[in-house]
Amino acid sequence: MIKGFWDGIKKRSGTEPFFVMAPLADVTDIAFREIISKYSRQGKEYGGPAVLWTEFVSADGLCSPGRKVLERDLAYTEGQRPIVAQLFTAHPDKMREACTLVRKLGFDGIDINMGCPDKSIEKQCAGAAMIKNPELAREVIKSAREGALDIPVSVKTRIGYNKNEIETWIAFLLELKLPVLTVHLRTRKEMSDVPAHWNLMPSIIALRDKISPETLIIGNGDAMSLEDGRQKAIVSGADGVMFGRAIFGNPWLFDTHKKVVSTRERLEVMLEHTMLFEKLLGDIKNFAIMKKHYKAYVTGFDGAKELRVKLMETSSAEEVKKIVGEYLGSI
């Protein structure tokens, strides 16, 4: 078991849970991670999220002639460390090759996605489809370790495919002595349509203590604030908590000192986020990706609905700048 930087994370958190940011497709790109780092970490090495994840990236794609574009999804800055690259594939040889590349790119860790419910990913026998094929999952993890060498390889998954499979699937993964296992506390079938089953985490922790005591367990699902996450971890026994939807429009989430964010500050940071996205990714990603962020940034204040409607019609950072400027000039 190669724990790498995870040893430091656990040592610093002590008996307190640690908090990390989820890998979200078309959300946790380099631009958003940079905004999170700036406004949650406030320049402090151990401030904000304990670990940042990339979006999930196809290992097969990283082994193809078109990999240069995908490598852009793996771009990061030093201020985003420690950072973990999340990969998916059903081909052990591709995983080995991709992990070799990721190691050369200087990542602190590699995480394998074994929980994504997207049908296009499952058709490749990857993501949540791995839950139905433990032996293939074993081979993919083995190959990832061969490519990663001295950096830790972790897994993110769900409690089961159609039903609770903690006693089989989660136990199987624990037997592989992973340094970290992140468990989204829903089944593949449940998607995100039901509340996360945090009541099941104690049974996962009990299995961990029995099978692989050194494995850190991160719980994922419905944590909406640091205090909410802290309480979920304390009650359930999880070592850490991963935040997903709660980070939308809220790059201050991990800042323990931030209490109130003004409308002006929220919109100015949204504009900064937009400008950074266009600068770093505008040549390879659709500007429409930013609009899911606008829905979260622009809410809960007078005129939010009308402003949001205007932002949904934009196609460039300059347009957003003009619209935001006009709104701020009117308040």
By annotation, the residues acting in catalysis are 116
Task: Report how far residue 20's alpha carbon sits from residue 183's, in angstroms, rounded to the nearest whole number.
Answer: 13
Task: Give me the phi and psi of 138, to 5 degrees please.
Answer: -60, -45
Closest CA to 87 of 78, 77, 96: 96
Look at the block and give the residue holding tokens 């909406």.
224
Chain centroid to Cα 200, Å, comes to 21
What's the CA angle centered on 174, arms 168 and 176, to 5 degrees?
Answer: 110
DSSP string, 20-65: EEPP-TTTSSHHHHHHHIIIIITT-TT-S-SBEEEEEEEHHHHTST
**Under 8 Å CB-to-CB from 212, ≥6 apart: which residues?**
1, 174, 175, 177, 178
Contact 271, 320 (CB under 8 A): yes
82 prior amide bond cis, ω within 30: yes
**Total residues found in the chain within this entry:** 331
Residue 286 to residues 250, 289, 292: CA-CA distances in angstroms? 22, 6, 12
Look up residue 322 and give its amino acid. K
What's the CA angle centered on 37, arms 2 and 242, to 5 degrees?
Answer: 55
Report CA torsion sign: 292, 272, 20, 225.
Answer: negative
